[in-house]
């Protein structure tokens, strides 16, 4: 026989049997959900949980990155017309990459951008390539990510570089508006210090050339085939979150010092 009324405590509502059963059922359901979550955390190794959290966080940055508009890009370009760190030696900027982690790159996970640079160099060395342009690109292509050491939002630094606008077919990539990110940042700082083809490579190294095919000029095609495609092989395919490259980074200092003998505004 169901007990419809419970003895009331002054100041507290009286629970009928049905209300009581509903409340108890809800508590048990919540308890079951909590127990399930705890069981999940026990079953899933901590490193896998952290990896999933890393990817989830990175995806949220990418989503915000893709919300950039032409107005956003114009504002960021205007913002970075002035120096951030002042005059800096290029080698010092490269070394700062040891403090930078790209939270959108699950291929590298928590490996620093300086580790990534060394992985790229290791791949180039392994294939016996001595092209100074590719070596310089390997060393400085992600230097724009030192903005992570400032208060800039990560969605304005990280992620691939997609187009926001179009241009007439064959007009050239310089007629297309792209998202602002580390590629545009490094291009803006080095374009007056390196040959045009190398500046082009720095600017577009994070783009999807298949999407941009209709807009390429003849010059773009030449630079893509001669520099970007070979560079992508090492920039993309050497990434690893658990491989420590065996590269003597210091031996490349002379190359950088000779290419950039004076500090640059960054």
The reply to whether 163 falls in a domain is yes
pLDDT of residue 154: 98
The sign of the CA dihedral 142, 144, 147, 153 is negative
Cα 216 off chain centre by: 25
In a domain, 115, yes or no: yes
Does 57 fall in a domain?
no
Which DSSP symbol is given to 181? S
Of 140, 121, 126, 110, the residue nearest 205 (C-alpha):
140
Report the pLDDT value the prediction gives residue 57, as an integer from 0 to 100: 92
Residue 45: predicted pLDDT: 78
Structural domains counted in the chain: 1
59 domain residue, yes or no: no
Q: Per-residue confidence of the chain (266 residues) as pLDDT tens digits? A: 333 333 334 443 343 444 444 333 443 344 444 444 444 455 667 878 888 888 999 999 999 999 999 999 999 999 999 999 999 999 999 999 999 999 999 999 999 999 999 999 999 999 999 999 999 999 999 999 999 999 999 999 999 999 999 999 999 999 999 999 999 999 999 999 999 999 999 999 999 999 999 999 999 999 999 999 999 999 999 999 999 999 999 999 999 999 999 999 99
Report yes or no on 65 lying in a domain.
no
SS3 sequence of 74-117: HHHHHHCCCCCCCEECHHHHHHHHHHCCCCCCCCCCCCCHHHHH
Whether residue 92 lies inside any domain: the answer is yes
Could you tell me the residue range of the domain that residue 110 belongs to? 70-265
DSSP sequence for 31-59: HHHHHHHHHHHHHS-HHHHHHHHHHHHHH
- 8 domain-assigned: no
Which residue do the tokens 């580790």 mark? Answer: 115
Q: How many CB atoms lie within 10 A of CB 25?
A: 10
CA 56 to chain centre: 13
CATH for 167: 1.10.3210
According to the model, what pLDDT value does residue 7 have?
A: 37
Please state, in angstroms and rounded to a whole number, the distance separating the CA atoms of residues 190 and 139. 13
242 within domain boundaries: yes
């Amino acid at each position: 026989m169901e007990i419809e009324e419970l003895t009331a405590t002054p100041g507290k509502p009286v629970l009928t049997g049905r209300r009581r059963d509903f409340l108890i059922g809800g508590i048990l359901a919540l308890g079951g959900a909590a127990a399930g979550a705890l069981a999940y955390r026990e079953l899933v190794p901590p490193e896998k949980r952290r990896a999933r959290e890393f990817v989830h966080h990175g995806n949220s940055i990418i989503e915000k990155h893709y919300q950039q508009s032409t107005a956003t890009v114009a504002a960021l370009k205007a913002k970075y017309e002035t120096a951030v760190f002042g005059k800096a030696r290029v080698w010092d900027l490269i070394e700062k990459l040891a403090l930078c982690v790209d939270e959108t790159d699950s291929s590298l996970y928590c490996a620093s951008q300086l580790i990534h640079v060394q992985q790229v160099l290791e791949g180039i060395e392994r294939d016996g390539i001595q092209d100074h342009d590719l070596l310089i690109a390997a060393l400085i292509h992600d230097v724009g990510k030192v903005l992570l050491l400032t208060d800039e939002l990560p969605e304005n630094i990280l992620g691939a570089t997609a187009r926001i606008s179009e241009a007439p077919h064959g007009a050239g990539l310089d007629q297309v508006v792209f998202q602002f990110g580390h590629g545009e940042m490094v291009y803006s700082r080095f374009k007056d210090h390196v040959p045009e083809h190398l500046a082009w490579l720095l600017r577009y190294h994070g783009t999807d050339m298949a999407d941009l095919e209709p807009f390429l000029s003849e010059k773009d095609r030449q630079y893509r085939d001669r520099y970007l495609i070979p560079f992508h092989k090492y920039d993309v395919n050497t990434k690893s979150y658990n491989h420590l490259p065996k590269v003597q980074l210091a031996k490349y200092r002379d190359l950088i010092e000779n290419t950039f003998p004076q500090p640059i505004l960054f």
